[in-house]
């Protein structure tokens, strides 16, 4: 059976649709990240205005308090008083994540969501460090001695779970394909 040149022509609409879907995916990921940043910054500002520092408000008795603190370190107060280093790391990490989204958009759902959450959380805390010299944390889990955290921190942890789910599902899929 002879092959014709027309057998290899891909319809123009197919190519445009695929190109637009990648553009849409990039836009969606950046939009998700933007909303995470917005929620993070609005929540911090709201707590600052309504509660202020050196006060605590019980939200769910014996479970959750809002207690606004200045965190000059990273997670679990690692690198305390290293704001300049942490600000630089935050900016570079954010630029790397934006580059990944724009140049190498994640192919899997969980990886894409993880990158969006990680960018939102990184920029949320990075904005605080850049403009204030510290990160505002306010969620306090009362029954356990756990560090006080914020929406950006939650977002970063969600990103880690998304990456774990992606690794497990990718590993499971590759095992399935090898059998």
H-type alpha helices, 9-82: 12-50
Q: Which among 40, 128, 137, 166 is annotated as catalytic?
A: 137
Q: Is 40 designated active site?
A: no
Contacts of 111 (CB under 8 A, 6+ apart): 162, 163, 166
Q: What angle do CA 155, 157, 162 make, to 5 degrees?
A: 90
Q: Which among 7, 54, 128, 153 is annotated as catalytic?
A: 153
Q: Is 153 designated active site?
A: yes
What's the burial of 13, exposed, middle or buried (CB within 10 Å: 0-12/13-18/19+)?
exposed
What's the burial of 170, exposed, middle or buried (CB within 10 Å: 0-12/13-18/19+)?
middle
Positions marked catalytic: 137, 153
């Amino acid at each position: 059976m002879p092959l014709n040149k027309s057998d290899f022509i891909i319809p123009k609409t197919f190519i445009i649709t695929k190109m637009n879907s990648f553009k849409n995916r990039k836009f969606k990921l950046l939009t998700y990240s933007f909303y995470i940043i917005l929620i993070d910054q609005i929540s911090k500002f709201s707590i600052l205005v309504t509660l202020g520092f050196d006060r605590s408000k019980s939200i769910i008795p014996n479970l959750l308090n809002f207690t606004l603190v200045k965190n000059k370190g990273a997670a679990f107060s690692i690198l305390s008083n290293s704001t300049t280093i942490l600000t630089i790391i935050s900016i570079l990490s954010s630029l790397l994540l934006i580059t990944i989204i724009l140049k190498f958009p994640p192919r899997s759902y969980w990886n894409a969501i993880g990158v969006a959450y990680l960018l939102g959380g990184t920029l949320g805390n990075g904005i605080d460090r850049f403009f204030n010299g510290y990160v505002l944390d306010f969620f306090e889990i009362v029954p356990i001695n756990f560090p006080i955290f914020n929406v950006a921190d939650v977002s970063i942890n969600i990103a880690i779970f998304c990456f774990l789910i992606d690794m497990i599902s990718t590993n499971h899929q590759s095992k399935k394909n090898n059998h």
